[in-house]
């Protein structure tokens, strides 16, 4: 099994950080405020969970390391663009992201929007380059996956429902549907898209898709608990926005004990999908390693959040 705490993984994180900077769409003639947002975004990628997941999956399933760099950068650029837009005054009106002032507060809203468009444009190019040597059928499936996950059926649709949550039933079902459209869609791209060159069998494909659902909902559940109980300094982003803006939050919809139980059940379901994958093929061990060190590692945090809310 891959050890995500090993020196080799630290080297991978550095490789990916370099790739994100090298693929920055700015050039020497780029307007200075736009260039600054792009440089700040590419140079402050957070924990890089998704890029690592993409890179390992891409290399394990037939892409070259350079192609894996391109695909990992593309997925992270899509994610980064969504955060730039999410923080705008017309969306969440956030002030802090990843421990720094939000881009629109430092360089203006127009520069933040243009930077998001620039990142999406570069991500589209990088994703196509990553699959350029693959058969036509694989390229078509990759483009279809991107279209579904990033459009109204995925990320943008989830964000639209997020903004109108106060007008909905505010049910736990609606909270989960929004989480699947936002967090779940990006995890589908991180888990499933890199596997396309290897053409997973039907059982593997079904379990990969299920895993993206379980992880997406579990990660969002912890994020919801953090929004309620943690401050800006702890999370690195503006806190308590869900309650202030009447946005979807599982702890608000279900109450903290039920939200905690939902999180634990999602982890068990993810473990079941991982076990089935590894029975099919041992190459999926990198996903089990991620579950152990990243997603299952969120359990103590969920417990702390629940204890805080119960106090």
Q: What is the 3-state secondary structure (H, E, C) of 89-148?
A: CCCCCCCEECCEECHHHHHCHHHHHHHHHHHHHHHHHHHHHHCCCCCHHHHHHHHHHHHH
Output 6 or 201, whichever has higher pLDDT. Answer: 201
Confidence of residue 257 (pLDDT cuts 50, 70, 90): confident
Q: Which helix (H) or strand (E) holds 233?
A: helix 232-235
Rg (CA), the chain: 19
Stronger pLDDT, 220 or 191, i.e. the higher one = 191
The pLDDT value given to residue 231 = 45
Name the pLDDT band for 309 (thresholds 50, 70, 90). very low
Bridge partners (DSSP) of residue 100 are 97
107 in Cβ contact with 132 (< 8 Å): no
pLDDT over 50 (residue 72): yes
The CATH fold of domain 1-133 = Farnesyl Diphosphate Synthase (1.10.600)
Whether the CB-CB separation of 309 and 228 falls below 8 Å is answered with yes
Across the range 165-181, mean pLDDT stands at 89
Whether the per-residue pLDDT at 295 is higher than 70: the answer is: yes
pLDDT at 7: 62
Average pLDDT (43-65) is 93
> Distance of CA 254 to CAs 149, 176, 250, Å?
27, 11, 6
Strand partners, 96: 101
Interacting residues of 154 by C-beta distance below 8 A, sequence separation 6+: 148, 181, 185, 188
Each domain of the chain, given as residue ranges in start order, spans 1-133
User: Percent of the chain beyond pLDDT 90?
Assistant: 61
Of 100-109, 195-204, 248-257, 268-277, the one with minimum mean pLDDT is: 248-257
Evaluate whether 158 touches 95 at the Cβ level (below 8 Å).
no
**Mean pLDDT computed over 38-42:** 93
Q: In this structure, which long-range contacts are made by residues 18-23, counting pairs with CB atoms below 8 Å and at least 24 apart in sequence?
A: 19/51, 19/69, 19/70, 19/72, 19/73, 20/45, 20/51, 20/73, 20/76, 20/77, 23/69, 23/70, 23/73, 23/77, 23/122, 23/126
Q: Per-residue pLDDT averaged across 130-154, rounded? A: 97
Tokens of 255: 């109450």
Whether the predicted pLDDT of 308 surpasses 50: no
Mean pLDDT of 235-248: 61
- The conformation of residue 271, written as its DSSP 8-state character, comes to H
pLDDT at 80 over 90: yes
């Amino acid at each position: 099994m891959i050890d995500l705490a090993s020196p080799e993984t630290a080297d991978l994180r550095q490789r990916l950080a370099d790739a994100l900077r090298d693929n920055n769409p700015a050039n020497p003639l780029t307007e200075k405020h736009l260039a600054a947002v792009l440089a700040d975004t590419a140079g402050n990628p957070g924990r890089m969970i998704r890029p690592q997941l993409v890179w390992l999956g891409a290399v394990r399933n037939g892409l070259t390391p350079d192609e894996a760099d391109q695909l990992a950068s593309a997925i992270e650029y899509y994610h980064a663009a969504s955060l730039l837009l999410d923080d705008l005054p017309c969306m969440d009106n956030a002030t802090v992201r990843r421990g720094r002032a939000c881009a629109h507060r430092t360089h203006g809203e127009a520069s933040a929007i243009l930077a998001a468009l620039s990142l999406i444009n570069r991500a589209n190019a990088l994703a196509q380059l990553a699959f350029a040597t693959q058969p036509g059928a694989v390229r078509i499936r990759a483009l279809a996956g991107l279209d579904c996950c990033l459009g109204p059926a995925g990320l943008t649709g989830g964000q639209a429902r997020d903004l109108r949550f106060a007008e909905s039933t505010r049910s736990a079902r609606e909270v989960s549907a929004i989480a699947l459209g936002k967090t779940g869609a990006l995890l589908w791209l991180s888990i499933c898209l890199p596997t396309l060159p290897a053409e997973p069998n039907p059982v593997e494909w079904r379990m990969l898709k299920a895993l993206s659902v379980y992880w997406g909902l579990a990660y969002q559940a912890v994020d919801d608990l953090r929004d309620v109980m943690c401050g800006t300094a702890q999370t690195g982003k503006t806190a308590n926005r869900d309650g202030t803006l009447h946005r979807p939050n599982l702890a608000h919809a279900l109450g903290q004990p039920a939200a905690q139980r939902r999180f634990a059940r999602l982890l068990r379901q993810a473990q079941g999908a991982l076990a089935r994958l590894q029975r099919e093929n041992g190459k999926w061990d990198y996903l089990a390693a991620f579950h152990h060190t990243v997603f299952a590692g969120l359990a103590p945090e969920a417990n702390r959040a629940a204890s805080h809310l119960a106090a």
